[in-house]
Chains A and B, each alone.
Chain A
Amino acid sequence: MHRLRSVDRGVAGNQGIVTPLMTSDITSRRDAAAVPPIRDTAARRGSTFLTAHPRARLWLLLSAPLTWLVVVYIVALVALLITAFWKVDSFTGEIQIDWTLDNIVTVVTGSLYHVVTLRTLGVALAVTIIDIALALPIAFYMAKVASPRLQRILVIAVLMPLWASYLVKVYAWRSVLSGEGILQWVLNPFGIEGPGYGITATIITLSYLWLPYVILPIYAGLERVPDSLIEASSDLGAKSWSSIRLIVFPMILPAIIAGSIFSFCLSLGDYITVNIVGGASQMLGNLVYTNVGTANNLPLAAAVALIPIVIIFGYLFTVRRTGALDNL
């Protein structure tokens, strides 16, 4: 029997009857029209050149987007940062190219900026935590429980709010949260006072706005956890909660952090939502907006704009150590 085994391997797993190619199969092909030879065209010569020169290929591919990135993106940002070190002539309101640290000092020492920075940071953190708490069960259901059909429907449902305008969504929340709004109407029978406009309303609205950006990376992360790992965990004696804590959670942590970067950074820079539902509260974005507009002090606005940039860099630096950026 042992000799037989080596024999069966010889035909690469074919267990059935061997059907050798008959000579008639080959002769019949001669009757067909000949395959035309490849023609030499300019496009073909160009392709040949590019195939032989990978560097030229790379430049052709990247030159346009690189120009765009450098001119439009980086130059604009650097220009803003430089502006922070200039000042405004208090009499004419013209910008003077006169190097000074005054704006930075104002922003770092002024108590108004401390309060607003802390408030903005608090809102961004609260929104991020709420979004992660909401996104985890939804993403888990989408990735691991729902049927493939329902899964597709849910992905569309999560993306759908992104089709509507930002302003429309925020104004919708303004009407929901208003004193005569739906929320108050629902809460009234229980004798509960609605949050009204303010920081709470801002957090609720921002959580709603950024939720899809948090669900999608977590969903993608969960998709990448093979079901067999969860089965193996259960097979080895782990109850469901242990499987989630010891297997699923560590594996999707980078995805959770990726989602948090979206909600955190987007909240940090927002000023429209807080304007519409935030009552008298201000966030850093509002200070920038006021300084650019009413106060006509672009250098100070640029200095204020540095605060979220510094915070975001700090956040990204901390997060980088977890490997989350590999998952973006």
Chain B
Amino acid sequence: MTTAPAIRLTSLTKSFGSVHAVDGVHLDVAPGEFFSMLGPSGSGKTTVLRLIAGFETPTSGTIELFGEDVTSKAPFDRDVNTVFQDYALFPHMSVLENVAYGLRVRGMGKQERRERAAAALETVRLAGLGDRKPSQLSGGQRQRVALARATVVEPKVLLLDEPLGALDLKLREQMQVELKEIQRDLGITFIFVTHDQEEALTLSDRIAVFSEGRIVQLGTPREIYERPSNSFVADFVGTSNVFTGEMARTVVGTVGDFSIRPERMRVTAGSKPGTNAATGTVVETIYVGGSTRVVVDLDAGQRVNVLMSNDAGGDVDKLRGTAVTLSWAAADVVTLASENTTTR
């Protein structure tokens, strides 16, 4: 017998008036998995999260939590907890009272809940700040309080709604590592909503890419990045050079939809046509730290991006305005499905 999935969504649909925010989503999330829902704003990922939490009721479809149908249950009857995008800390309570809140409404005694809350604050490295008000904390600290508050009640599934969105870059990278550690320590399922493709790629065991209320690709970070199933995924997850129709026939040599990652292309000076190669003119070179982004107008007419590592040597800037040849390995050409297909 296989264990029931932590979350199972079946034909989940949510409409607001005539808008289908979530349009027939099927999804299984395994226990203990770090699962990300990735997509642009308005793609329905947050609505799916709110449906799982119980803040919205689905128009149709079911939500199962470890085999139990929770579709019509109130949020307070579901064994899932949420870390909100704005943290949603109670401003009139101290940090410790915030963390102890879930235990308090469950009727736990004052002494015990204070001890547990203090322990939870320790795991998020906020020991000693329990007496402060949320307004006296920095963004990163509030984030950790929200995490402690949601995990202290030991949910089966933790939902995270763009929890790192409000933090600055350094803090975000640090919190990414901490999130991953906390998830490993607790061993519970994390469902992580983000529009940041790198965050999803670094953190997740699996990713569901959302577009227009549907899952357009479901897979491991490597699959999503290296084998995008269609042009939307190829373009949304990282930068891609997508060739379609007549352009594909000219550049790639076959009819269909194809994608080549910028870092998989090489630039050489001079015009040397050939297979797995295309000629063009460099429009712009942009220094981006570890590498240089080279923008090339192909003679075939399309503008493409190439990423060159700066440790390769040579002055890339000199290429601006000159004719170049782009080349790639046949294996780096990813064939895309011509239309968005929902994967199960």
- Which residues of B have CB within 8 Å of A250? 92
A58 lies within 8 A of chain B by Cβ: no
For A246, give its contact among B74, B105, B153, B202 (CB under 8 Å): B105
Q: Count of B residues near A, CB < 8 Å?
A: 50
Bound Cα distance A216, B197 (Å)? 45
Within 8 A of B (CB), among A1-60: 1, 3-11, 15-20
B305 lies within 8 A of chain A by Cβ: yes
* A: contact size bracket: 20 to 34
A251 lies within 8 A of chain B by Cβ: yes
For A16, give its contact among B76, B169, B235, B288 (CB under 8 Å): B235
Binds A, one of B6-14, B28-36, B78-86, B331-339: B78-86
- Name the prevailing secondary structure of the A interface residues: helix
B303 lies within 8 A of chain A by Cβ: yes
Bound Cα distance A208, B92 (Å)? 32
Cβ–Cβ contact B84 & A231, under 8 A: yes
B202 to chain A: closest residue by CB: A5
B75 lies within 8 A of chain A by Cβ: yes
Bound Cα distance A215, B250 (Å)? 70
Cβ–Cβ contact B291 & A7, under 8 A: yes
Bound Cα distance A232, B305 (Å)? 44
What distance in Å separates the Cβ of B184 from its nearest Cβ neighbour in chain A?
20
Known: A6-B289, A7-B289, A18-B284. A234 touches B307 (CB 8 A): no
Chain B residues within 8 Å of A, Cβ to Cβ:
53-55, 74-76, 80-82, 84-86, 88-92, 101-102, 104-106, 149-150, 153, 169, 197-198, 201-202, 225, 235-236, 238-239, 263, 283-284, 286, 288-291, 293, 295, 303-305, 307, 309
Cβ–Cβ contact A11 & B84, under 8 A: no
What are 30 contact pairs spanning A and B, CB under 8 A?
Answer: A3-B290, A5-B198, A5-B201, A5-B202, A6-B288, A7-B290, A7-B291, A10-B288, A11-B286, A15-B235, A18-B284, A18-B286, A18-B295, A20-B284, A229-B90, A231-B75, A231-B82, A233-B101, A234-B54, A234-B74, A235-B76, A236-B81, A236-B102, A237-B76, A238-B76, A242-B105, A246-B104, A247-B90, A250-B92, A251-B91
Question: How many A-B contacts if CB must be within 8 Å?
Answer: 116
For B198, give its contact among A8, A18, A246 (CB under 8 Å): A8
- Which residues of B have CB within 8 Å of A4? 238, 263, 307
Chain A residues within 8 Å of B, Cβ to Cβ:
1, 3-11, 15-20, 226, 228-229, 231-239, 242, 246-247, 250-251
Cβ–Cβ contact B293 & A7, under 8 A: yes
Bound Cα distance A88, B284 (Å)? 95
